[in-house]
Structures are given as C-alpha cells and as structure tokens.
C-alpha cells in the first residue's frame, strides 16, 4: 500500500507521511528536488505513478504568506501554478495509470468562503467566486476532477490555519509570544478558522482509509474562535501577556492589501461533513491545541 504525496516535504506533508507510515503505508513524495523516497514532478510525468499506489494526495503549494516576497503578478502566478498545475498533473497521471489508485485527496482552503462576521459556512455553502483567493480555491479544486466513469474517490479538504509547533503560523508567532510581545491582529474580532496539525493530517489519513468518505471536508476544528480568542489562549498557554496588538496598517504594509485579507478577515467555518464522516479529532479545542503549541520542542 503506497501513498504518493505531492508537496510531502512541507509542514503538513512531514506530519502526514509520519502518520501514514504509522498506519502501515509506504510513502513516495513528489517534490521539485530529488531525495530518498522522493520523485521529481518531471520523473512523475515521465514514469507515471508507481504500480502499487493506492492513494494520491496533493498538498503542494507556494507559501502565500511569505512576507519576504512581494505580492506581485509573478508571485501570484507561482501561487496558482504550484497548486493548480501540480493537481492537474496528478489527475492526468491517475487517468493514465494501469492500476489507478482508490482515492485522490487534494487540499484547498477556507478562503473559498467569503469573510464575514456573521455568516456560518458548512461544506455545502456557496463561495469560490468573489476574490483572488476564492477563485484560486475553485480552480485548485476543479484541477483534480476525474471522469465520472473512473472508480477513484475524490476528496477535497478545505483547510483552516494549521497550528503546530514546528511549522506554519506558530513558527512565526512563537518568539514574539515567548518574549511577551504577542497580541491580537487588527481588531482581533475576525474569525480564525484553525486546525491542529495532527488533525489536518488525521483527516487526510481518514479520507484515504475510509471508502465511504467522498467530496468536500472542511479541515477546521469544531471549536470556533476569533483571532482575539486564539491570542488569549496562546498567551495563557505560554504564561505571557498579550497586550501588544499588531495594527492593521502594519499587516497591510507587510503583506499588501489583497493578501493581508487572509489575516485581517476571517470566516466562521463548521466541519459538518468532517464530523458526519466519523472523524474523531485529536485536538478539538483551542486550549489543548495552544498548550501543545507552547512546548519548547515539537512532539
Ligand atoms: P509548506 O509551504 O510547508 O509546504 C508546501 C510544499 O509545496 C513544499 O514542501 C514544496 O515542496 C511544495 N511547493 C512549494 N512551492 C512550490 C512550487 N512553486 N511548485 C511546486 N511545489 C511547491 O505548506 P504546508 O505544508 O503548510 O501546506 C500544505 C498545503 O496546505 C499548501 O498547499 C497550503 O496552501 C495548504 N494550506 C496550508 C495552511 C497552513 O496553515 N499551513 C492553511 C490552508 C491551506 P518541494 O520544496 O519539495 O517541492
């Protein structure tokens, strides 16, 4: 049983590979670089999927919130192509495979849903067509479409902000919070759809293992929180004050207006189908998640 994982070298990918191996799967990562148990995208396109591949996952994607790179047309194209073109290539490889895998899981984001202080979104809510990020999610999701007559399950995970000690947002927040200079972002009233790294990898693994899981799953925790709730919970877990808010203008300066919306605005997202599918969260609440993310070393 082998799972092929595009973007498996990243934060989510490292945790996912470890979890899949614990569940008895072999893993092959598709990357831009050569490496052990790794293929490049070029060799995937030349050689196709390994014969023993039972599942294909694509979580590749250029880091949108890299503050070192300006939000230029060139960067936006890299953000799109690293998600849409890689997903398309994997779909093509599945169509060409002599023994197609049983399931194709791809990542998307809660940016599909329009930010709002009042709306509540489940997997069946509309969205995906109001700004750059929402259209990116729509294109990313449809890039993985397969013909109806192919017996390959399709699962799309719309992820919230992934929290874990060794990557993503926490890696950037740990030092300021440790030094006692952490604080809410902007007003702090914006929804903060979040998920622990163990659960985003857990949901993907659950989708691979369970034949009845199909379609969209919201990759967020069941406990809803605002940015302010998260800031207070993380400050408490670190035993530090959180009295230094990061002003809106600073976030807009660092990330430019279109991209800063990801941080300054948010959506209240409910994992309705994820819970109905039988997934049991390891970290369903903010308190246990923040305690885990406050550790000096990742577990
Ligand atoms: P990382 O940035 O840690 O890893 C993403 C991987 O994608 C990298 O390891 C890299 O693999 C590959 N990649 C990066 N740029 C490119 C590119 N230009 N072309 C092809 N491949 C590229 O991301 P995460 O693990 O945190 O996230 C995984 C996915 O989940 C991403 O698609 C992200 O958008 C999505 N997501 C993440 C959230 C989060 O909070 N972390 C929230 C919502 C969605 P290599 O260098 O080996 O080629």
The low-confidence residues of the chain, meaning pLDDT below 70, are: 298-299
Asked whether the beta carbons of 13 and 7 are under 8 A apart, the reply is yes
With a Cβ cut-off of 6 Å, ligand 1 is lined by 7, 9-13, 31-33, 59-63, 78, 82-83, 86, 107, 109, 159, 161-162, 167-169
| 7 Cα to the center of ligand 1, angstroms | 6
Domain boundaries, the chain: 2-293
Pairing, β 38-40 against β 215-219: unpaired
Give the residue, by CA position, lying nearest to ligand 1 atom 11.
7
Q: Per-residue pLDDT tens for 244-260?
A: 999 999 999 999 988 99
DSSP, res 115: P
Q: Per-residue pLDDT tens for 135-146?
A: 999 999 999 999
Query: For 231, left (φ over 0), alpha (ψ -120 to 50), or beta?
Result: alpha
Residue partners of 296: CB distance under 8 A and separation at least 6: none
| 171 Cα to the center of ligand 1, angstroms | 15
Residue partners of 58: CB distance under 8 A and separation at least 6: 5, 6, 7, 86, 87, 90, 105, 106, 107, 144
pLDDT value of position 200 = 98
Give the residue, by CA position, lying nearest to ligand 1 atom 33.
61
pLDDT value of position 257 = 84
pLDDT value of position 230 = 98
pLDDT value of position 170 = 96
Bridge partners (DSSP) of residue 162 are 195
- 10 Å CB burial of residue 47 (0-12, 13-18, 19+) is exposed
d(CA 61, CA 47): 22
State which of 9, 61, 85 you would mutate to test the pocket of ligand 1, scoring each by most atoms of that ligand within 8 A of its C-beta. Answer: 61
Give the residue, by CA position, lying nearest to ligand 1 atom 42.
161
Q: Per-residue pLDDT tens for 69-79?
A: 999 999 999 99
ipTM of the predicted structure? 0.99
| 86 Cα to the center of ligand 1, angstroms | 11
Pairing, β 103-109 against β 38-40: unpaired
Asked whether the beta carbons of 193 and 266 are under 8 A apart, the reply is yes
Neighbouring CB atoms inside 10 A of 35's CB total 10
pLDDT value of position 210 = 98
d(CA 56, CA 3): 6
| 15 Cα to the center of ligand 1, angstroms | 13
For domain 2-293, say whether CATH 3.40.50.2300 is its number.
no
Asked whether the beta carbons of 215 and 205 are under 8 A apart, the reply is no
State which of 4, 10, 199 you would mutate to test the pocket of ligand 1, scoring each by most atoms of that ligand within 8 A of its C-beta. Answer: 10
| 253 Cα to the center of ligand 1, angstroms | 24
For the CA of 60, the closest atom of ligand 1 is 7
For the CA of 64, the closest atom of ligand 1 is 34
Give the residue, by CA position, lying nearest to ligand 1 atom 2.
63
Give the residue, by CA position, lying nearest to ligand 1 atom 17.
82
Q: Per-residue pLDDT tens for 203-239?
A: 999 999 999 999 999 999 999 999 999 999 999 999 9
């Amino acid at each position: 049983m082998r799972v092929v994982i595009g973007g498996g070298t990243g934060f989510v990918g490292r945790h996912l590979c470890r979890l899949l191996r614990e569940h008895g799967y072999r893993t092959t990562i598709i990357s831009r670089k050569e490496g052990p148990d790794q293929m490049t995208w070029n060799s995937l396109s030349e050689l196709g999927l390994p014969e023993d591949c039972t599942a294909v996952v694509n979580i590749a994607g250029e880091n949108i919130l890299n503050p070192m790179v300006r939000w230029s047309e060139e960067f936006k194209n890299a953000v799109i192509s690293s998600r849409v073109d890689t997903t398309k290539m994997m779909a093509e490889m599945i169509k060409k495979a002599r023994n197609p895998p049983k399931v194709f899981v791809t990542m998307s984001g809660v940016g599909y849903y329009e930010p709002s202080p009042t709306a509540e979104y489940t997997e069946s809510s509309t969205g995906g067509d109001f700004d750059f990020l929402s259209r990116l999610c729509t294109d990313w999701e449809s890039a993985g479409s397969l013909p109806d007559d192919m017996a390959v399950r399709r699962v799309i995970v719309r992820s919230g902000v992934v929290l874990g000690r060794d990557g993503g947002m926490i890696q950037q927040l740990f030092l300021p919070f440790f030094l006692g200079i952490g604080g809410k972002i902007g007003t702090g009233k914006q929804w903060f759809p979040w998920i622990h790294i163990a659960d985003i990898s857990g949901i993907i693994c659950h989708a691979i293992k369970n034949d009845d899981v199909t379609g969209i799953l919201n990759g967020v925790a069941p406990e809803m929180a605002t940015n302010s709730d998260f800031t207070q919970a993380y400050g408490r877990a670190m035993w530090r004050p959180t009295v230094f808010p990061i002003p809106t203008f600073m976030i807009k300066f660092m990330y430019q207006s279109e991209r800063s919306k990801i941080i300054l605005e948010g959506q209240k997202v409910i994992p309705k189908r994820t819970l109905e599918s039988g997934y049991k969260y390891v970290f369903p609440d903010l308190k246990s998640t923040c305690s885990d993310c406050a550790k000096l070393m990742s577990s």
